[in-house]
Amino acid sequence: MAAQETVLQIDLNALAHNYNYLRSLLKTETKLLAVVKAFGYGSDSVEIAKFLETLGVDYFAVAYTNEGVALRNAGIETPILVLHPQAVNFKTIIDRCLEPSLYSARILNRFIDAAAQQNQKNYPVHIKFNTGLNRLGFWENDVDYIIDRLKKAPELQVKSVFSHLAASEDENEQEFTLGQITSFKKIANEIAEKLGYQPMMHQLNSSGLLNYPDAQFDMVRCGIALYGYGNDPKYTGKLKPVASLRSVISQIHMIEPGETVGYNRAYVSKGYEKTATIPIGHADGISRSFGNERGFVMINKKKAPIIGNVCMDMIMVNITNIDCREGDEVVLFDENYTAEDMAPLANTISYELLTAVSQRVKRTFLR
């Protein structure tokens, strides 16, 4: 149905298509971890996770503890990896059966203490190594220290050893990426040998799976590809965008030559023109960067440039050459004009557009 208000439509059929396509690329024994952080890349983490659970997903990952708690509160039982936990939340992590990434000596020692206080035994944790992204993670020369601490901590059991690729979508960085993969193999094998048991290994993100399928190890972590974007036209064409951002025309104005539109009179009419006001603005995720005719929306399959400055709750567009009426649907992005198409107009990427969609925007689901 056409939108009758500002709404983010989430197509769970598209999500299933993407999940099944990614599964088809995996070896039989390789697990699939779905990244549902940032409200499911701006959609709805709970509904996304519930649906993926019915499809048989093996793991979830979130960035922060409260995101994992929200999934548990919604009844999600699948294991959840917390990628960037903070020590203040360790009791909550244990209480809600979340699995932390331990990425530094401080975090490792604080979690050992928390697990001991909670009388835990073999609590599942994931050890993160930095192989070149230089964001989070232990270094290769920390292995002996980690092993020493773990051997004295029966409270913990290493569920996985993992790392993160820095440029898996960039063909010009293949040598660097292959170096990361080689380094990770060496670290993970050393950890397993010294622990005396074999944790899972995982390093590939969405682009890693698509471009380096031989490095699947035991599990892959898929984020943006699940939501329909492959960071490469040849892969994006095989995926379906899950989210469509739509709105409506609230009011149409006829303006004369020299009249101005919006704050600071940023747009000056060049002649007799027709404008439409749409109930979506920078508080809803439409950056001010799209203003002053840099961005546009689609109305009846035609481009309507955004004129003047983007307001907090509204944008105005030029519809002089478009046959439309008040109440007609407006498309910000969808499966045809995608977030990946829209992003370069604001010098950004699809990830930012998707995750910027405000939580005040109504979500609807196509099942």
Catalytic residue IDs: 37, 263
Q: Which strands form 7-11's sheet, in the order they lie side by side?
A: 251-255, 273-278, 315-318, 302-307, 296-299, 329-333, 243-248, 7-11, 362-366
Q: Residue 215: CA atoms inside 13 Å, Cβ hemisphere, count?
A: 28
Strand boundaries in 46-130, DSSP class E: 59-62, 80-82, 99-102, 123-128
Phi-psi region of 170 (alpha: psi -120 to 50; beta: other; left: phi over 0): beta
Q: Which residues contact 119 (CB under 8 A, 6 or more apart)?
A: none
Rounded Cα gap, residues 250 and 267, in angstroms: 19
Rounded Cα gap, residues 314 and 337, in angstroms: 20
Rounded Cα gap, residues 8 and 304, in angstroms: 20
Q: Are 52 and 76 in contact (CB under 8 A)?
A: no
